[in-house]
Copies of this chain bind each other. A is one copy, B any other.
Amino acid sequence: MHWKLTVLGSSSALPSFDRMLSAQVLDINSSMLLFDCGEGTQFQLKRFGVRLSRIDYIFISHLHGDHFFGIFGLINTFIMLNRQKKLCIVSPPGLKSLIIDVLDMVNKEPVFPIEFIEIACQSKTLIVNAKDFKVYGFPLKHSIQTNGYLVEQFNRNHRIRPDFLQSNEVSFLWRKRIQEGEDFIASDGQVFKNTEITVESKVKRFAYASDTAYEEKMVTDIADADLLYHEATFGDDLAEEAFKKKHSTASQAAKIAKNAKAAKLLIGHFSSRYRDVDHLRKEAQTIFPETILAYDGLEIEF
């Protein structure tokens, strides 16, 4: 089954006429995951036909306003739409108390449960371990604590470990049951846990890296991503500005994608100084040909 990423906002801190603030939503079929939630995200979700009720997770990269000021309005709308199911919000520390203060101020108590996971990733860390996918956090290099996120989906039809098949007698019927997730009971009554006798096959990886300066270390954290989103606020013309503000150039994003052996690179978070960002595409494609420019409403299936 394909995943679908929809870009909701592709500008950097100052919104432009045709680009809203940072937000992307990933549809992994069983669930939807929102990455960042700049002001206006709820309008963009509506504009691009995303059913709000399908969003189960919100991952905030860092606590700069253009990446999270939309979360108050989105939660407010969830409350008005009478949402019942759990929402999980992952962010660097500090957002939970702010959300609680805001909800308290507007005199609204959500009827749905909110699970807050506050984490300042210093190394690659498993954050969400759901039935059919995992989300890891990894450190980015920005002016404040910033988490990158990596979504990995595992094959639910567990493949039996070849060495187990060689050393144990497993009937055709049992093979099928194990592949469906059952534990194996040998003829002598010994129980083998499913997780111990099967290999989970990774089927898909999406990595989200915004905002960040060039950070070679992340290459191992996001290796073999099917789609890497990496910010590219500036082009080579403003490389110094990028360095100073701890942002990346398009070339740097491309280098990361190349070194991480990503299949595709999506660049965004463009500075509002650029009316046209096609030179950023060219700069990136010189290093990593499979580069796509983000725009609001862009959908990528992979």
Interface residues of A (CB under 8 A from B): 13-15, 17, 20-21, 39-40, 42-43, 46-47, 63-66, 69-70, 72-73, 76-77, 80-81, 94-95, 98, 101-102, 105-108, 143-144
Contacts and interface: CB of A to CB of B under 8 A. Distances in A.
Contacts of A46: 15, 17
A46 B42 CA distance: 19
Given A39-B40, A42-B15, A43-B40, A107 B77 contact: no
B65 A144 contact: no
20 contacts: A13-B80, A14-B77, A14-B80, A15-B42, A17-B47, A20-B43, A39-B40, A39-B42, A39-B72, A39-B73, A40-B43, A64-B107, A65-B73, A65-B106, A65-B108, A66-B76, A69-B73, A95-B105, A98-B102, A98-B105
A163 to B, nearest CB: 52
Nearest to A75: B65
A13 B108 CA distance: 13
A63 B95 CA distance: 20
A42 B106 CA distance: 21
A64 B98 contact: no
Nearest to A94: B105
A52 to B, nearest CB: 11
Nearest to A16: B46
Contacts of A108: 65
Contacts of A20: 43
This chain: how many copies in the complex? 2
A75 to B, nearest CB: 9
A182 to B, nearest CB: 46
Nearest to A62: B106
Given A13-B76, A39-B73, A65-B108, 11 more contacts: A14-B81, A21-B73, A39-B39, A39-B43, A63-B106, A64-B106, A65-B73, A65-B102, A69-B72, A94-B105, A98-B101
A108 B13 CA distance: 13
Contacts of A64: 106-107
Contacts of A66: 73, 76
Most chain B beta-carbon contacts within 10 A, residue among A66, A69, A77, A102: A69
A237 B67 CA distance: 41
B43 A107 contact: no
Contacts of A105: 63, 94-95, 98
Contacts of A17: 46-47
Contact of A65 (B13, B76, B95): B76
Most chain B beta-carbon contacts within 10 A, residue among A39, A72, A77: A39
A269 to B, nearest CB: 15
Contacts of A69: 39, 69, 72-73, 76
